[in-house]
A = this chain, B = another copy of it.
Amino acid sequence: MAKPKNSLSTDSYVKGILARNITVLSKAITLVESKLKSDLEFAQEIIEQCLPHSGNSIRIAVSGIPGAGKSSFIDVFGSLLTKEFGKKVAVLTVDPSSQISKGSILGDKVRMEKLSNDENAYIRPSPSSGSLGGVTRSTRESIILCEAAGFDVIIIETVGVGQSEITVRSMVDFFLLLHLSGTGDELQGIKRGIIEIADAIAVNKCDGDNIKKAELAKREIENAVHLFHQSESGWQTRVMTCSAIKNTGIEDIWSMIEEYIGHVLENGFFDLNRNQQSKSWLYETITNMLEESFYSTEGIGDEIKRIEKEVTAGKINTFNAGTMLLKLYKSSLKDS
C-alpha cells in the first residue's frame, strides 16, 4: 500500500530539504502543488521553516515560443553554471496550458539530457494544475524550497503563451527571452508587450546556415528595443545571439546576467524589486483568498450565472448586482 503523502514530519521535511535531499524536496513540492487542503496547510508549515534559508539565489526566467529551443538552451546553460561556475541549478517550468501526466517528468528529463544527469542540478516539470493562479503560487513556493535546499540559480522556464510571462516576471530577478529568427519580419514573432518585460533577448539557433539570418534578426530587434523607454532598473534591454547546439554565446549570456545583477545590486533595484515582489504577492494572495472565499460560497455560483445574464442584457446595473451578491456572501458567512 502506498504511504500517505505526508508520512514524514515537518521537521524531517525541513531537515531533508536543508540537506538537499532531492527525494524529500520533490515530495515537498508535490505537497505545495497538491489540491488537498490538508496537504497545502502542511506544506505551509514546511515553507515557514524554510523561509529563513531562502532568498539567496539568482532567479532567472527563460521564456520563448514553442520551438525557440528553451530546453536545449537551459540544458547547456545550466550545465555551464554547474561545471564552470560551481553553481547549483534548479529548473522549474511554468506552463499553465499543459495537462501533463506523470510521463512528462520523463519528458523533461529527456529534453534536458545533460542537466538531468547532473548531481548539482534539479529539474522539476510544471504541475498539471490548469489555473495560472495555482501555478503561480506553487512556483513561488517551490522557489523558496529550492533556495532552502541550497540551489543558487533558479531557472523558471515558461512557454510564451497567455499571461504567464507577466506572472513569471513578478517572481524573478532577470527575464531572458529566447527568440528564433524567422521570416525577416522579426517583431511579428515576438509577443505583444514582451519586449517591455525582457531584460535580454537572445536569438537562438545562431549556427550553420542560420548565422546570417540570426545576426540580421539581432540587429532588427536591437533597433526596436532602443525605441522603447529604459526600464525602472536603469538597464537597457540587451540583444544577443547564441547557439545551444554549438554551445556559442552561452557564456556571454551568463556574463551579462552577472553584469545585470551587479548593476542592480549597486543601484538598489535588486532589493527594491524583491521587496515589491513580496508585497505584491501578499496583496495578490489576499485578493485571491477573498475571491476564493466568495466564489466557493454555496449559492453564489448559481446567483452569478443568473445575474451575469441580466447585466449583459442591461436589465440590472453592475453596482446593484455586486451589492446583492456581496450581501448574500456576508450573510452566509454569518450563518456558517
A-to-B contact residues, CB < 8 Å: 40, 44, 47-48, 51-52, 54-55, 137, 140-141, 144, 185, 187-188, 192-193, 196, 224, 227-229, 275, 278-279, 281-282, 285-291, 293-294, 307-308, 311-312, 314-323, 325-326, 329-330, 333-334
Does the CB pair B55–A314 fall under 8 Å?
yes
Give CA–CA (A323, B281) in the complex, Å.
Answer: 13
Report B-chain residues with C-beta under 8 Å of the C-beta of A312.
275, 278-279
Does the CB pair A308–B290 fall under 8 Å?
no
Report B-chain residues with C-beta under 8 Å of the C-beta of A188.
227-229
Does the CB pair B228–A187 fall under 8 Å?
yes
Contact of A322 among B187, B278, B282 (CB under 8 A): B282
Does the CB pair B227–A293 fall under 8 Å?
no
How far apart are A328's CB and chain B's nearest CB, in angstroms?
11
Does the CB pair B326–A290 fall under 8 Å?
yes
Report B-chain residues with C-beta under 8 Å of the C-beta of A334.
333-334
Does the CB pair A47–B281 fall under 8 Å?
no
Report B-chain residues with C-beta under 8 Å of the C-beta of A330.
293, 333
Kindly report which residue of chain B lies nearest to residue A196, judged by CB atoms: B192
Kindly report which residue of chain B lies nearest to residue A228, judged by CB atoms: B192
Kindly report which residue of chain B lies nearest to residue A275, judged by CB atoms: B312
Number of this chain's copies in the assembly equals 2
How far apart are A237's CB and chain B's nearest CB, in angstroms?
12
How far apart are A198's CB and chain B's nearest CB, in angstroms?
12
Report B-chain residues with C-beta under 8 Å of the C-beta of A286.
291, 294, 322, 325-326
Does the CB pair B285–A321 fall under 8 Å?
yes
Report B-chain residues with C-beta under 8 Å of the C-beta of A227.
185, 187-188, 224
Give CA–CA (A287, B323) in the complex, Å.
Answer: 11
Give CA–CA (A322, B282) in the complex, Å.
Answer: 7
- Contacts A/B (CB < 8 Å), 9 sampled: A185-B227, A188-B228, A193-B196, A224-B224, A282-B322, A285-B319, A287-B291, A289-B326, A290-B326
Contact of A308 among B55, B229, B282 (CB under 8 A): B282
Q: Give me 5 other A-B pairs in contact (C-beta within 8 A), A52-B315, A282-B321, A293-B330 excluded.
A: A54-B314, A137-B319, A285-B319, A286-B294, A289-B323
Give CA–CA (A26, B161) in the complex, Å.
Answer: 45
Report B-chain residues with C-beta under 8 Å of the C-beta of A307.
282
Give CA–CA (A47, B293) in the complex, Å.
Answer: 30
Report B-chain residues with C-beta under 8 Å of the C-beta of A315.
51-52
Does the CB pair A278–B137 fall under 8 Å?
no
Does the CB pair A326–B293 fall under 8 Å?
yes
Contact of A282 among B314, B318, B326 (CB under 8 A): B318
By CB atoms of chain B within 10 A, which of A185, A282, A333 has the most? A282
Given known A279-B311, A314-B51, contact A229–B320 (CB-CB < 8 A): no
Report B-chain residues with C-beta under 8 Å of the C-beta of A285.
318-319, 321-322
Report B-chain residues with C-beta under 8 Å of the C-beta of A290.
287, 290-291, 294, 326, 329
